[in-house]
Amino acid sequence: MTWIKTVPYEAATGKLKALYDRVKGPNNNVDNIMMMHSLRPHSMEGHMAIYKYVLHHSGNTIPKWFLEALGVWVSSLNECNYCVEHHFSGMKRLLEDAPRADRIRVAIEARDPELAPLNAAQKLAMDYVRVLTRDPAGLTEKHVIDLRNAGYTDGEILEINQVSAYFSYANRTVLGLGCSTQGDILGLSPNNSDDPNNWNHT
């Protein structure tokens, strides 16, 4: 499951138990990426807060499925299979178009978003995310201007940036501690975007 010790749901007490109850899914399932924080519950709390606010908040205006697609792209570039599998499942569920989702994944695995059934602005966002992930110092103001000219507001550009940055953090957390999908239920997410304090995965 991970290369470090974790506390299972059944053994959790105090603040850890309270956090597990906030993030759990069906049958008290806690994703391994969250359980990996169990020896330091405060870092789980911080991780979950940024995840919820960046990816699952009603204040975002970019479609949630596309934010998930950006996360899958970042995770693929970082070779983080755990996050690819989790968030592709989530993207596919949110998109409600399995063939299109599968074609997006094929393009991601080919490292060629131009092949994906996405519009021009979305492909431009994928390119921004690629540069930020692979060569962050290579990003210039022109990348942002191009996104703005493609129709994204500055707030939406911030959403794209934050999703990309979050997934690089999550990927490094997973890869650095040997987190696997064993025992996880793929594709669950905190779907109540209107309540930032509701972290339950469904």
Q: Which has the higher per-residue pLDDT, 1 or 189?
A: 1
Q: Calculate the average pLDDT of the chain.
A: 93
Q: What is the pLDDT of residues 14-61, one digit of tens each?
A: 999 999 999 998 999 999 999 999 999 999 999 999 999 999 999 999
Task: Give the CATH number of domain 64-177.
Answer: 1.20.1290.10
Whole-angstrom distance, CA of residue 11 vs CA of residue 6: 10
The band of 184, judged by pLDDT with boundaries at 50, 70 and 90, is confident
pTM (2 d.p.): 0.92
**Residue 192 binned pLDDT confidence (cut-offs 50, 70, 90):** low
What type of residue sits at position 107? Answer: A
Every domain of the chain and the residues it spans = 9-55, 64-177
52-74 exposure pattern, b = at least 16 Cβ within 10 A, e = fewer: bebbbbeebebebbbbbbbbbbb
For 184, residues 6+ apart whose C-beta sits below 8 A from its C-beta are 29, 31, 32, 86
Cα(117)–Cα(99) distance, integer angstroms: 10
pLDDT-derived band of residue 195, with 50, 70 and 90 as boundaries? low
